[in-house]
Structure 1
Amino acid sequence: MSNVTRLYHALPLSADINKAVTDLDTAIAEAIDADKAAGLPQGLVLAILHGQAHAQTHEMVKA
């Protein structure tokens, strides 16, 4: 996903956090590519990603 602009935190982030973010981004991009290659409709991929984002937001808000 080389066309994605990275947002930077106001404070410097550790190398471990930067690596974790990069690894997560890479894993998501690879999973999306594999899903598209397998023929999953883009709308389904989007719905799954949106559902996960919603669930994680709910977990953060209720904590």
Structure 2
Amino acid sequence: MSTVTRLRHALPMSPDINAAVSTLDKAIADAVDAAKAAELLQGLIVALLHGHAHAQTQIMVSSTT
């Protein structure tokens, strides 16, 4: 996933947050690579990632009200 552009947060982030983001990014990239190696359909990979993102967004929105 070397074509992904990293966005920087407007405010400085702690080293712990940067480390957690890097770890998460690597885990996602490794999982996508493993799915591709297992010859899963690209659309299925995208649909799964989109579904998880949607679910997590709903949880975040629901918890702020």
TM-score by length of 2: 0.91
Q: Which residue of 2 aligns with 1:33?
A: 33
Matching of residues 1-63 of structure 1 within 5 Å:
1-63=1-63
In structure 2, list runs of 5 or more residues that go unmatched.
none
Between the aligned partners of 1:50 and 1:42, the Cα distance in structure 2 is 12
Unmatched 5+ residue regions in structure 1?
A: none
Count residues in correspondence: 63
What is the TM-score with the length of structure 1 in the denominator?
A: 0.94
Runs of 4+ in 1 over 2 A off after TM superposition: none
In angstroms, what is the RMSD of aligned CA positions? Answer: 0.8
